[in-house]
Every structure is written in C-alpha cells, then in structure tokens.
Structure 1
Amino acid sequence: MGLYGIMNTSVSGMNAQSNKLSTVADNISNANTVGYKRYKTAFSSLVGSGGSSGHESGIVNTTVVQSVRQQGAFNFTSRGTDLAINGNGFFQVEDSQGGTYFTRAGDFVLDKNGQMVNSGGYKLLSAGGAPVTVDLNTPVWQASSQGELGVNLASNTPAPLAPGPTTGLPTGFDYKTSISTFDQNGNAVKIDIVYTKKSESVDPVTGDITGSEWLVEAADETGAKIAFPAPGVTTLQFSGDGKLAAGSPTDFVFKVPNGENVTLDLSKTVTAGEKFSVNKVDVDGYKPSTIQNIRIESDGRVFGVYGSSAEKLLDQIQIVNFSNPDGLQAKSGNVYAATDASGDPAVGFPGDNGFGSLYSGAVEGSNVDLAAELTEMVQAQRTYSANTKVFNASSELLQELNNLR
C-alpha cells in the first residue's frame, strides 16, 4: 500500500464531495427558479492495482447530470400569459441573436413590442417559427353578418290587418323589437324588426286555429323600411300549436346601412300566450377596440380579448420533445440546447400524441426538494471531513517514515 496513493485517494474524495456540494448549492439557490431542473452528482470508482497480499488505493470520479425529465409542481397565477407544460415537451424560445433554445420556464409577459418574453429574456416562438407577437395598439372591428332572434308572438293577435305602403312599415303593425348591428366602419346601427300578422286559418267545424302567417320586416333608425336583398324571406308560417310549420322559411335577410347583409335565424320564433316577448337575441359584429387581455387555450391557440369583449385568433404555440431530455445541454437563462445525446427535436402541438398539455395561468416550479438537498449537504460535509482525516493520517505516517534513521 503506497502512502502517496492514500493521499491521492483522499484528495479525490474531497474533490468529489466538493462537486456534490456545488450541485447542492446550485439546487438550493434555484429552489424558486421557474422551470429549474435539479442537478445530481453520481460517483464511480477507479480502482488501483493490487493482489491478494496488498491493495493499491484508487480514486473516485464524479459525473454531474441534470434531472430534466422530472417535472416540478405547478404554481397557479392570475396572469394568462404564464404557461406550464403538463407532461412531455419544451417551449421553443429565441435569444436576442436569433438562436433557438428550449425551456420549461413559462413565466412569459408581453414586452413593449407585444412579444411574449420570459424572465430569462427569451422570446416564445409560434408554429411558424417567429416570435409570438400581439398587436396591442391597432384597433379591430367587425361588421355584422349573421345572428339569431327568437320572439314569442301573442297567439290572440287579431288578423288580418291591411298591409302598409311599400316604402314604409305596415299600417298598424303588431309588434316591434330592436337589435344592435355594426356597419363596415364599426359604427353601431340600430335596426327595428317588425312583425305583422297576415292571416289566420280556423277549422270551420271545431273553430280551432290551424295555422297563421306573420310578415317580418326591417326598418332603419328613421323608420324607413329596408329593402331585402335577394333572396329575401319575409313570411313565417306557423301550425296550430304555435310552432313554425314544416317547410316554413326560418332565415330573414336584410342589409345594414353602410354595412353587410345580415342573416337572422328566426327558427326559435313561436306564437303562444297573450303577450309579446323577446326570448333570444344574438347578432355578431363589434365596435373598434384594442386588445385588453390574452387567452391561451390548452392546444396552444392564442386569442386576443378586445375591449368590446370580442375575441380573435392571433397565433398558435408549438412545443418540442426529445427522445432523451436528460441529454440536453444546459445554458444560461434556464434554457437548453439540443445535443447528440438528446436527439433531434420533434415538433408538435400541445395535447398531440406524445406531447404534454398546456396550462395557462400557471408556471412550473423547480423540481428541487429542499429537505433532500439539506440531507445531501450534511452527508457531503461529513464525508469530506472523513477524507481530510484520511489525508492527515497518511501525512503523519509519511512524517514518521521521514524521521527514521
């Protein structure tokens, strides 16, 4: 047994425990870093030569690996741009020089250019490979083109009434309700929908009502009747039970002044009871407004929520996966670069087969267990101290050897 070999062995042991303490220090300091993956130190022995009559001490080697596969716990927030991947996958991000990297740190915010940037300064990439960009300043609007209107026409309304002049509303129309529409410039336009009972059929024997017809017309804010674009449907036909008869038209088409043709679905219109009422009204279109909020779906679709409460699809986020995530190379800013050990990135959308789902309003915390790290720290400290004692013992033996005469 060589005394110098013992000293080299104890020095390698101290270096190994120092490496372990370094990984523990990194893990503890990043316990609150979003998306951080803990390091661990693996030990392996390098044996020396020897036989049955003696032993030559070897050394200990260390390998530091990062547990990228292990997922951290979710921390839920109130910010829609915070993203977390539940399962396999990484966000594709870009640095200021245009380099592409991968990360699990999804604490994104919108910068002054409307791009989603995380705490490391990396921009989130979309399905097209460009940074996800939200236009925060340009207003958008939409002209009305379709809607739905369901009313209850009182069944005891007398009929028939004389039709009115062709240029205006019917004389003595029965009921009127208003709907809000938008023209091509996003201006709100009120449209009056007018109902007039045209006829009623009665069984001559029983006196039961067997059907009725109602005229539907539209007028602008001045009261002038709006001409129908072809094909225009103006008459609803009801059976005796007050429901729309089979074969009755259900679409009502009119043109918004300075706007588009609007198709109203009237299929929920009935004639029953003694009072007129509006049961449902829903017309599309909205006024000019800018984005007030961002909503991100679990499949990566990014929607802008505008001040008018309208929503518009802006982009879609893709994520990537690797056959061996633990083989990725860690870079500054809590990002990774692909290596031969990790394999090439496979690209897909959140929720696809083999890819995790996306959570909005949450971030993935680090996978560091503080209790386990403190235990590792105590073990490394004790083992380091034991190695120093071995070194001191071999040094004293050498001193005794040098004192021999």
Structure 2
Amino acid sequence: MSLFSTLRTGVSGMNAQSNRISTVAENIQNASTTGYKRTSAEFSSLLLDAGNVGNYNSGAVETTLRRSVSEGGPIASTNSDKDLAIQGNGFFVVSDAGGAPFMTRAGNFVVDGKTGNLVNAGGFALMGYSLANGAPNPVLNGVADLKPVNVSVMGQEARPSTSATIAGNLPAILGETDRADPPVLESSLIAYDQVGQPTKVGIRISALGRSVGLSGTAINLNISGPGWFQIKNDAGEINYTRDGSFMIGNDGTIITRSGYSLDPAVIVPNGTNRLIVENKGAILGEMEGQVAPQAFGQVVLANFDDQSTLRQLEDGTYSATPASGPPISGIPGDVGYGSVSLVNDFKPPAKWLVEITDPASIPASSLILSYDQDGTLSSNKNNISVSVNNSEPMIIDFSKVTQLAGPYSLTGTADGSSPTAVSGTAFGEDGTVYAVYSDGTRKAAFKVPLADVTSPNNLTPRAGNVFTTSAESGDIQIGFTGQGGRGTLKAGALEQSNVDVSTELTTMIESQTVYTANSKVFMTGNELLETLMNLKR
C-alpha cells in the first residue's frame, strides 16, 4: 500500500460520509413535505486486486442512494375535503402541464383557478377515468384514457323526480261520517320535471265504507193474515215465501239465507242504530244525528187465487203456476217485526282511496290502500306511477303509511332537483369522485385509479415529489382501490413524510464522527509523505 493510496482512501471515506450527510440534510428539510419518502446512503466496499503477495492496495467506499418509497408515512386528518391519503400500497397518477404521467403519494389537491383541474402542491394534476359513459375499463399496464379530474365541467344539471315516499298515519277512528260524503284528506308534495321545474302534485285520500257495519245482522219478519213475501234472486227470477227469516247483506240489502232479496229491494245502510218495521210493511231506520226516522223501503205482500197450486222449490221458496193465477200485490195484511238489537260496530275503515288530483296534466291515477285490524297495510300494490309534465315516471310509495288510533299525520319526500351548479367535490373510499351541487345532491364524475410497480423502492425520483418507472422498478400497473394488494383512499387526510428527525440527527452525528476519522487518515498519510520528503534533505 502506497502513501498515495492512503490519501485516496481517506478522501473516499470523507466523500462517502459527505453523501450521507447530504441525504440527512435533504430528509430533515423535507420532514414536513406531504408524501415525501426519506433517502438513505448505503455503503459497500470497493476492493482492488493486491497483485503480488505482500503488497496491499487500499480500496474505496462505494455509495448507493436508496429511497424508502414502500415505507408509508403516518396519516393525519386535515380540514380540506380535497385532501387524499392512500392507506396501503399504490400511487396517485398525476400529470404535468405537458401531459406527461408521473406517480406520487402527495394527495394535497386543490382546484386550479385557471383550468378547474385538481392539482397538488407540486402543480401536478390528478388523473382519473371519466364516468360520463358508465363504468371505466382501465388499461392494466398503461395510463391510456386517463383524464385530469375536473368536476367543474359538469355544469348545471336538473334531475327529474323518479321516486317519492309518503309516510305517516291515517286515523283509525273517524267519528261520525256520512256514506255519501266520506272523509277526505288532502295532501301534496313537490316534484320536478325533466327540466327541473318544480310542480305540486296533489294527493287526495278518501275513506271507503263507513265506521259502522251491519252486514250479517238477522231480521225476523212475520205476516199476520194472508200474503206472501215477494222475493227475487240475482237472475231476476221472482219467487214467494212466508218464511220471515231475513238478514242484512254486504251491500245493506235485506235478503233471505239463500240469497233472495225482497222485491222491490229494501236497503238498510250502514250507520243505522235502530230498525223500525211498521205493520203495513214500511221499513224505517233511525240514523246517527237524525231526529226523524228515515224510510228505507216497503215490504210488498202478494196473494194468489189458489195458494195450494203453488210449486215448492228445493230452497224452500214457492213459484207461481198457471193454476195459482197471477200474483196480486199490495194486498192488505200486517207485517210483524221480531225485535233485533243492532249495535254500531265501530271498526277502522279497511280501505282508503288514494287519488292524484294535481296538476291537470297528470293522467288520472288511483290506488286502494287496504289495512288489517291492527292497522298494518295488507294490500299488495302500495304505489302509484305518475308522470310530471310528461317526464319519466315517478313512483310514489305509500308502504310506510299506517292506520292507527293517532291523528292524521302524513309527510312526503321526492327526489329530483331544479338546475343547480357544482359547489364542491367529494371522494369515496373506492376512488369515486363526486360533483357536489349547491342543493346537496351529488353525481359520480370520475374514478381515480391507483398505480403500482413491482419494486417501488427502485422508482426514479423527480422534482415535485413525483416518481417515474425505471428498469429496476418494473412497469406501471393500473387498478382500483382494494385490487391486487392496493390500498384504499381516505378523504380529508394526508400522508406525512416518513422521515424520523431524531433518527436523522443520530445519523448526522455518526457521519460527522466517521468523516472526522477519515480526515485523520488523510492527515496521517500527508504527515508520512512529509517525513519521506524530509529524508532527502
């Protein structure tokens, strides 16, 4: 080993530590840089062939700089909804002003005032796939079809109403009602047509039937003297009977057990509190809220010249024959009434009629809501389809309307909106970028992919805290969050630098000490050379 080799060895050591201190300085100055990845100086020995035995050639120190790109930094929450952090593997794809693609972990994006693009602190625009034509089909090993994320191009947009919901309660107890004038509940909601014009949709809900039911109540009539009850079936056949066992049918008509009705028909409406049959056959009834009885009909008696020639039928009634002669209606006779106590059956109305009344341009639409005794909806169809100003159909859902003892209380909501401008941007964990409108609604506009490479630590750094691929890193691979080991996105957060300042300061002290030691080697070699030179003197 020559003395000159000693000098070169000392210089090599000082250069190596100088490089190391330079990386420490860079790391410390970027300790607060978003997404920055620390650099470390790695050393390896460089040995020369000793040649002849007994000779020694001093080597040198080779320095290699490496970045800890794969080492994630801590995630910190921020106050900006446009800040993005990657939790796990992957990089944002960004581009410079010339459109050249890069990769970065720095997600501190803001809206550029000139272009409307989302750009980070380095001026690089965030890239994503447009969702204007549906879900994207990414190119796995390239950045084709990626565009700068810019929601300002969405402009104003009107959304027609396509669904609405009516919820609340219909009263189970209506009080005194009139069959001819059932209770009506009026409501309305605001919907939007295809151009965003707000339109009031009127809704009328009417109770069907009454709160009093008499169906199945027995009525026993008897004839004092001659005469027959004249009855008629659904086919219009007229028969006769003296059996006075009648009942009130579903429609209030007085009928026999076999289904014949008095002829002419006598109808007892729901709401009757007491039934009165006069001895001349007049049937009256006392109604709730009325002073005088109301006439319901007249029982008609018939007789024949020869009653013995009447033909008895299987159902116990009789039909006239030529021998019995034509019936003589309206003959004198008394009709007696076996007293029956009719009790008001106050049950909730089982059905409600829903009608769409406004605007006039909406075709007539209606719906029957049916309820069980416990007030739950039992009808199979619980919605109405309407078209507001000839726009696409809007489905109004009534499935959340109950019928309980509480008062009338309905609420209504409908989607859709008037034309509104984009007021902000929102991000989903899957990388979807939403345009947020001034009315609070939002629409998916872009989807941000994540790039990855086989060896992230071998990426080539570029100015602006971005990276490009190298032969050692492998080619770029594109995918979405959660795919192929990629991480997820967190909005309102940033990835901090992965620099540990205390570690860097320790490294700096260590490098300073080693640098000083190498300088001593150089100084010692220099002193030996001076001693050698002095021998000549």
TM-score, with length taken from structure 1:
0.90
What is the one-letter code of the residue matched to 2:206?
A: T
Letter aligned with residue 98 of structure 2: Q
Q: CA deviation at 1:204?
A: 4.8
Matching residue within 196, 205, 227 for 2:363: 227
Residues 57-136 of structure 1 aligned to structure 2 (within 5 Å): 57-112=58-113, 113-127=115-129, 128-135=145-152
In percent, how many aligned pairs have the same letter? Answer: 36
Per the TM alignment, residue 49 of structure 1 is displaced from its structure 2 partner at its CA by 4.2
Q: CA deviation at 1:226?
A: 4.5
Deviation readout 1:132-153 (Å, 9 max, x if unpaired): 1112682112111211112311
Q: Establish whether residue 276 from structure 1 lines up as the match of residue 408 from structure 2.
A: yes
**For residues 200 and 183 of structure 2, what CA distance do their matches in structure 1 show?**
19
CA deviations over 1:140-192 (Å, ceiling 9, x no partner): 12111211112311111255643xxxxxxxx7752122212112221222222
Give the deviation of 1:54 after TM superposition: 5.5
2:331 counterpart residue number? none
* Pair 1:146-2:163 in alignment: yes
Q: How much has 1:111 moved relative to structure 2?
A: 1.1
Q: 1:7-18 counterparts in 2 under 5 A?
A: 7-18=7-18
Q: How far apart in 1 are the matches of 2:369 and 2:120?
A: 57
Alignment of 1:119-268 (within 5 A): 119-127=121-129, 128-135=145-152, 138-157=155-174, 161-162=179-180, 173-200=183-210, 202=213, 204=216, 207=345, 209=347, 212-220=350-358, 226-228=362-364, 232-247=365-380, 249-257=381-389, 259-268=391-400
Residue segments in structure 1 that go unaligned for 5+ positions in a row = 163-170
Asked if 1:376 is matched to 2:393, the reply is no
**Structure 1 CA distance for aligned equivalents of residues 393 and 455 of structure 2:** 56
Aligned to 1:337: 468
Secondary structure at the counterpart of residue 352 of structure 1:
coil
Residues 307-346 of structure 1 aligned to structure 2 (within 5 Å): 307-346=438-477
Q: Does 1:396 align with 2:536?
A: no
8 A Cα contact 1:39 1:67, kept in partner: yes
Deviations 1:102-123 (A, max 9, x none): 1101111111322111111111
Q: Please list every run of 5 or more consecutive structure 2 residues that lacks an aligned counterpart in the other structure.
A: 130-144, 218-342
| Aligned 8 A contact 2:208 2:349 in 1 | no
Taking the aligned partners of 1:304 and 1:14, their CA distance within structure 2 comes to: 56
CA distance in 2, matches of 1:204, 1:70: 84
Query: What is the rounded CA distance, in whole Å, between the counterparts of 2:61 and 2:6 in structure 1?
Result: 12
Distance 1:268 1:160 in 2: 28
Contact 1:173/1:194, CA 8 A, preserved across alignment:
no
Q: For residue 234 of structure 1, give the secondary structure of its aligned residue in structure 2.
A: strand
Structure 2 CA distance, aligned partners of 1:56 and 1:101? 45
Residues 292 and 357 (structure 1), Cα distance of their counterparts in 2 relative to 1, 3 Å cut: same
CA–CA distance in 1 between the matches of 2:146 and 2:521?
Answer: 57
Which stretch shows the higher mean deviation, 131-140 or 77-86? 131-140
SS in 2 for 1:268: strand
1:225 is displaced (CA, Å) by: 8.9
Cα gap change, 1:274 to 1:365, in 2 (>3 Å): closer
Which is greater in Rg? 2
SS at match of 1:88: coil
Distance 1:194 1:52 in 2: 111
- Secondary structure in structure 2 of the residue aligned to 1:63: strand
Worse-superposed segment, 347-356 or 45-54: 45-54
User: Which residue matches 1:167?
Assistant: none
Shift of residue 24, structure 1, vs aligned partner: 0.9
Q: Distance in 2 between matches of 1:256 and 1:243?
A: 30
State the alpha-carbon separation in 2 of the partners of residues 381 and 13 from structure 1.
11
In 1, Cα distance between equivalents of 2:151 and 2:30: 31
CA contact (8 A) 2:172 2:349 kept: no
Distance (whole Å) between structure 1 residues aligned to residue 5 and residue 406 of structure 2: 106
Q: Which amino acid aligns with 1:312?
A: K
* Contact 2:173-2:348 at 8 Å conserved across structures: no
Residue type of the alignment partner of 2:156 = P
Q: What is the SS of the residue equivalent to 1:371?
A: helix
Q: CA deviation at 1:57?
A: 2.0
- Between the aligned partners of 2:58 and 2:155, the Cα distance in structure 1 is 73
Q: 1:135 to 1:36 in 2, by over 3 A?
A: same
| Partner SS, residue 125 of structure 1 | strand
Question: What's the secondary structure of 1:378's corresponding residue?
Answer: helix
CA 1:361–1:238 in structure 2 vs 1: closer, same or farther (change >3 Å)?
A: same
Instruction: Provide the alpha-carbon RMSD of the alignment.
Output: 2.2
CA distance in 2, matches of 1:281, 1:20: 69
For residues 35 and 161 of structure 1, what CA distance do their matches in structure 2 show?
76
Alpha-carbon spacing, 1:65–1:362, altered in 2? closer, same or farther (3 Å): same
Relative to structure 1, the CA distance from residue 136 to residue 307 in structure 2 (aligned partners, 3 Å threshold; closer, same or farther) is: farther
Q: Residue 31 of structure 2 aligns with which residue?
A: 31
Query: CA 1:274–1:204 in structure 2 vs 1: closer, same or farther (change >3 Å)?
Result: farther
Distance in 2 (CA, whole Å) between partners of 1:144 and 1:161 is: 36
Q: 1:161 to 1:141 in 2, by over 3 A?
A: farther
Q: Tell me how far apart the structure 2 counterparts of residues 160 and 91 of structure 1 sit (CA, whole Å).
A: 71
C-alpha displacement at 1:360, in angstroms? 0.6
SS in 1 for 2:25: helix
